[in-house]
Every structure is written in structure tokens, then in C-alpha cells.
Amino acid sequence: MHMPDVRLHEPGSLKNACDLLRQFSDRARVLAGGTDILVDLRQDRVTGVDQLVSLRRIPGLNDIEETADGLRIGAMVTPTAAARHERIRELFPALVDAIGSMAGWQVRSLATMAGNIARAVPCSDLAPVFVVADAEVQLNAGTSKRRLFVRDCFAGPRLTVFRHDEILTHILLPFPRSSCGLSYRKFGLRGANAIAVAGVAAGLWLNARGMIEEARIVLGAVAPIPCVSPKASAFLAGRKPGDDVFEEAGRLAAQDALPICDVRGSDDYRRDLVKALTVDALNEAVERARKGGN
């Protein structure tokens, strides 16, 4: 395994970074924390790339800001920094849990959350939580900007819908409603540095009578992209939270999964995991919703 020759660019502005991406086209990639792209280059999983455009020197990408609508997280914010942020801890414990289950502390302190979305691996730990929380990304191509829901970012395994010259500059996390509980559960084969064999994010919104007004179950590592389970989400809406209802939602979520069979687990095993993780995630989500939210 060797590292191919690459030229590192460290532009000081977004515009220059986008210009470089346009200039070198398929030969260039964005470099954020490097925990994926450098491994991909060494392992020849990404070929034909000889230009890396670092985001390190671009101002304004390291901050987490509170806006009128929610939190705005810069592209260079690491999972470790996010998990230590007071407002994220208060408003999004499910994200903090997902970060805690991701890789080991070295990777979490180097990687970026934006890179986790941009890499678009089916087993991402953070994407299911961003989807369940209705997060959006801000994309910037130098002269144009657009916003996309995280759920609409993925086109397939390791494939996003981003244009080649678009940089994900911010993740936008809307404030959760007070009656909402979010949760993330993952199964990996080890305690640390374990890629998800299956992951489930659950979101429950309760009405004043404690009934489920809206629900969302998002599956990770069991389909080509992190995706909502339509059957489980639709089944839960309008029902009273409880063991039987959560069991059935787990069964339906397992039906919606499209797992692969590999060294980490068979497709049947992964379906069983989805069922169990959905029940666990729903129990935690309803507890959080009943306590007033998050």
C-alpha cells in the first residue's frame, strides 16, 4: 500500500477552493479531516486523483452558531467538538450518542461531521441522526449556493448528489419541537472503531394526550443509503406508544431494510438487529419526548 503523489492546495477562501475543484475536475477532491479520503487513496479505492483541496484555511468553517431556527455547524467541526458543545448536548443527545459510538477518539477528533455526510457510506453513524432530525446542508459552489435536506443528499453507496465543485459549508440542525424525542442505536462487532452492522435512529413527536403525532425511523448500514423506513414510520403515527406497537414497528422496519450479507453479518441477522434496535431506539425516544423533548 502506498500513498499516490498528490498536490495539496490550501486556499484561503471558498471561492478559490471551488475554482480549484472546477479547474482540476475529476482529478481533485475536497480534503477535510482526511480520515476517509487519505485511506481511500492509499487503498486505491479512489483513483485518478492527484489534487487535494483542503478546507483548513477557509475562515468560518470551524464554528457552531445558534441562529433563529437552530444550530449552524461549520464543515470543519469535528465530532468531538460537537459532542462537547453545550447546546448540542442539551438539544441533540441522540447526536452525542451517535458520535460516541463512532470510531475511536482519535478519528472523532480528526474527522468532520460534514465529511461523514459527504462520504455517503451506508454505515455512517451520523447520517441517520441528521436525517431523523430533519437537518439540511448548505452547499456552496463559489458563485451559487443551495440547501438540501440530508435525506436527499445520497445517490448510492459512497455517492452524493453534490456537484463536483460544490462544497458542503454548513450543517443546519433545526431546533427540535418540545414534544419530540430522538434516539440512535447501533450494533457493531466491537466496543470501539467498529463500523455499524446495523444502526437505527428513531424520532417520535407526541401530542398533548401522549399519542404519537408523527414518527420517523431511519435505517443505517442496512440499505445502499441511510433511509427512512416508510412502513414503520407510517404505522407508528396516530398510535399510543407501548411495547406491542414498538415491536410491530421493529418488524416493519426490518421488512423495509435491504441488507447485504458480508463478513460482519448475514442479511437475516441484520434484519433481526434492525428489529431489536428499533424497539430500543423507540423506547428511548418516547422517554425523551415525555421528559419534554429531545
Ligand X SMILES: Cc1cc2nc3c(=O)[nH]c(=O)nc-3n(C[C@H](O)[C@H](O)[C@H](O)COP(=O)(O)OP(=O)(O)OC[C@H]3O[C@@H](n4cnc5c(N)ncnc54)[C@H](O)[C@@H]3O)c2cc1C
Residue 33 or 176 having the CB closest to ligand X: 33
Residue 118 Cβ, how far from ligand X at the closest point, in Å? 3
Counting residues that bind ligand X (by CB under 6 A) gives 29
Tell me which residue has cell 477557509.
Answer: 58
18 binds ligand X per the rule CB under 6 A: no
The stretch among 113-121, 147-155, 204-212, 254-262 that binds ligand X (CB under 6 A) is 113-121
Beta-bridge partner residues of 180: 205
Q: Which is nearer to ligand X, 42 or 240 (CB)?
A: 42
Cβ atoms of residues 221 and 195 within 8 Å: yes
- One-letter amino acid at 248 equals E
Among 17, 18, 20, 30, binds ligand X (CB under 6 A): 30
Cβ distance to ligand X smaller for residue 17 or 257: 17
| Contacting residue, 14, 18, 31, 99, with ligand X by CB under 6 A | 31
Yes or no: say if 241 and 202 are a contact pair by the CB < 8 Å rule.
no
Task: Give Cα separations from 94 to 18, 103, 129, 133, 289 (angstroms).
Answer: 33, 16, 7, 9, 12
256 lies in the binding site for ligand X (CB under 6 A):
no
Distance CA 195, CA 104 (A): 11
- CA 136 to CA 174: how far, in whole Å? 8
Which residues 6+ apart lie within 8 Å of 242 measured at CB? none
Site string for ligand X, 153-192 (x = CB under 6 A): --------------xx------------------------
- Whether 276 and 169 have beta carbons less than 8 Å apart is answered as no
Residues between 90 and 109 with contacts to ligand X, criterion CB under 6 A: 102-103, 107
* Interface ranges with ligand X (CB under 6 A): 29-37, 39, 55, 75, 102-103, 107, 111-112, 114-116, 118-119, 124-126, 167-168, 193, 195
